[in-house]
Structure 1
Amino acid sequence: MGEEREDPQQLKRVAAAAYDYENDPRWADYWSNILIPPHMSSRSDVIDHFKRKFYQRHIDPELMVDAMSSGSSSQPKRPSASSRTTNDQTQPRSAGSTPRTPGTAAAAPPTSLRWDRKTIQFSVNAWVFLVAVLAIFPLVPKNLSDRAYRLSFMGTACSSLYSLYSVYGKPRAWNLQALQVYFQSIITTKDFIYLIYCITFVTSHLCLKFALIPILCRALEHVAKFLRHNFSQSSLYRKYLEEPCVWVESNTTTLSILSSHAEVGVGFLLIISLFSWQRNIVQAFMYWQLLKLMYHAPATADYHLSVWTKIGRTVHPLIHRYARFLETPLSAVQRWWLR
């Protein structure tokens, strides 16, 4: 019986050893928050031990991790850089004396939060998602709905700006050359695109609830990813949120396609608005410049290319058959678009 119970653990240990840690950004963050003496950090047995701890925390909570060997445990007590590191210190000792059971997983450390960059992003995006839902809900009073509409774009703009600052920092200098180099490095990123997208609508008096679809998709994707990676052991998460979060993470391509369709649709709505009293020529021009950037930026190019291909297949035959006089101006627009 003992060997039968050990077989699943042996398979889990093999899976943990074969896991691709180097391509998981969470491993780099986890390892950087563990403080050990330099002469210990290069030892393969120490690294393997903490890899198993990482695998237990983020991949398979039922993996049993033994305490470090006596040669490794003789090291001086390591100070903890954060609450996560403190949990790493206490858990190996208890795991060595008392076998873990699936029932104890609900009290595991992954449910604890650190006020780091990811937690801040989660908080902002969760707030944006709730406010955006409030903005599009039909029974909400108009003045409250309009305010929630603008707050959704402001929150997403702040989230995108904070993400850009966290990854790229600020320009090395405040001169033209340094700013040019800085903007060349961020202009094709998804965060920069959403920042400009939000600024375009926050500064306009035109209220297009349809433009909230990409904001909702972005916020939903960020929230679901954070909840699944940090609250997977919570009973409340498993009961109410696990299925929606798993669906969102497995359908990110679908959400991106929906966002690209909505973004292109907003462009045509802005053209239609030019014939109304709410027209804003500057906003329409800026937005179509942004659509052109989305078409060429690597983060969004594939999805927008798919949308425009479908539009071309529908529109070109109709123009060739009923409105050939439009072929010349459309060719000029297409050349500008592809530059």
Structure 2
Amino acid sequence: MAEGGEDPQRLKKIAAAAYDYDNDSRWTDYWSNILIPPHMASHAEVVEHYKRKFYQRYMDPDLVVEPMSSTSSSQSARPSASTTNANEQQARSRSSGSVPRTAGPSATTGAANPSSVRWDQQTIQFSVNAWVFVIAVLAVLPLVPKNLSNRAYRLSFMGTACSSLYSLYALYGRPRAWNMQGMQVYFQSIVGAKDFIYFIYCLTFVTSNLCLKFALIPILCRALEQVAKFLRRNFTRSTIYRKYLEDPCVWVESNTTTLNILSSQAEIAIGFLLIISLLSWQRNFIQTFMYWQLLKLMYQAPVTAGYHQSNWSKIGRTVNPMIQRYAPFLNTPVTAVQRWWFR
């Protein structure tokens, strides 16, 4: 959420302009699939327009991309504008693996269809996240019967996994080719996405016999953030929202950083809990190893790196002096672990 009265869209446009498009292979594919006249492709404002549309699609769906002004093209190029938009829609359909829609008789009808699709996607995500939040709260309540609590625990992870998978499909589509090379390219494009990280996180626990209610904290934070964001955008005129939900939603959106810090702290703590669980009869070496691989990804992925690196730095400043003073024999294994971690 923007602070100090800054316009959120202005900040998003600055972020879109500062993005490194040249080092993103998706931009090359995106630009090559847009068919526009050569004399228009050389105009800087045209390139910037499509860069913002690319950024909106792959990075920030909330970015509002205004249509190109008529002054950016000459009179002779105007008849080809509708063809350009149609070609771009076809290119998007090909890259996402969907069937292109037939354009209606009016521009208004054609423009309304994508909006309705986005609305449907947002509504589905809101419904799933709201359901996950209720189920997760039910799972952590101490007075709930154990059998029901365990079911709610697993359903929370399953719901979040489905929500994350659907979000990945909506943003990145399907792989262009179902072969090894196509799958490798596809996974390289999504491996750093936050939804992919949450998907792997949920799979790690939904398939395990170990029941760690502490692991629901990141799930609750994610669901709460998504639900509050949807309510703030779509129910501002509702009397019930303004009376009961506006203040909590405003608090959630203004404390997104706090929720992310809490999630990262819980994720790191879960890693140590899994190591401790290796001493119990519920030990699971594969789950522990896979989860620490996921923590390593969280440490390196741009969407989560800031929070995890900050927390690990605090842990290092606390633990390293104690090791140097009371257990210097641990320096060798700690160094080996650090080499694996930063590899």
TM-score by length of 1: 0.70
Larger Rg: 1
Q: CA deviation at 1:116?
A: 1.3
Task: Name the structure 1 match of 2:16.
Answer: none
1:161–1:191: 8 Å Cα contact kept in structure 2? yes
2:268–2:295: 8 Å Cα contact kept in structure 1? yes
Name the CA distance, whole Å, in 2 between partners of 1:235 and 1:79.
31
Task: Name the structure 2 match of 1:51.
Answer: none
**Residue identity in the other structure for 2:134:** L
Name which of 289, 295, 314 aligns with 1:291.
295
Task: Name the structure 1 match of 2:310.
Answer: 306
Say if 1:80 and 1:240 are closer, same or farther in 2 by CA, change over 3 A.
Answer: farther
Task: Name the structure 2 match of 1:229.
Answer: 233
1:166-201 deviations in Å (ceiling 9; x for gaps): 111111111111111111111111000000000000
Name the CA distance, whole Å, in 1 between partners of 2:118 and 2:146.
38
Task: Name the structure 1 match of 2:185.
Answer: 181
Q: CA deviation at 1:229?
A: 0.6
Q: Matched residue of 1:135: which SS?
A: helix
Name which of 150, 153, 156 aligns with 1:149.
153
Task: Name the structure 1 match of 2:23.
Answer: none
Name which of 237, 255, 262 aligns with 1:258.
262
Alignment length (residue pairs): 259
Name the CA distance, whole Å, in 2 between partners of 1:84 and 1:236.
29
1:247-289 deviations in Å (ceiling 9; x for gaps): 1001100000000000000000000000000110100000000
Say if 1:132 and 1:337 are closer, same or farther in 2 by CA, change over 3 A.
Answer: same
Name the CA distance, whole Å, in 2 between partners of 1:21 and 1:309.
29
**Residue identity in the other structure for 1:332:** A
Q: Matched residue of 1:116: which SS?
A: helix
Task: Name the structure 2 match of 1:324.
Answer: 328
1:59-101 deviations in Å (ceiling 9; x for gaps): xxxxxxxxxxxxxxxxx9955865998xxxxxxxxxxxxxxxx
Say if 1:115 and 1:77 are closer, same or farther in 2 by CA, change over 3 A.
Answer: closer
Q: Matched residue of 1:199: which SS?
A: helix
Mapping 1:98-137, distance limit 5 Å: 116-137=120-141
Q: CA deviation at 1:30?
A: 9.6
Structure 1 unmatched ranges of 5 or more: 1-14, 32-37, 43-75, 86-111
Q: Matched residue of 1:300: which SS?
A: helix
2:207 maps to 1:213: no
**Residue identity in the other structure for 1:325:** F
Name which of 276, 280, 296 aligns with 2:280.
276
1:113–1:119: 8 Å Cα contact kept in structure 2? no
2:272 maps to 1:238: no
**Residue identity in the other structure for 1:193:** I
TM-score by length of 2: 0.69
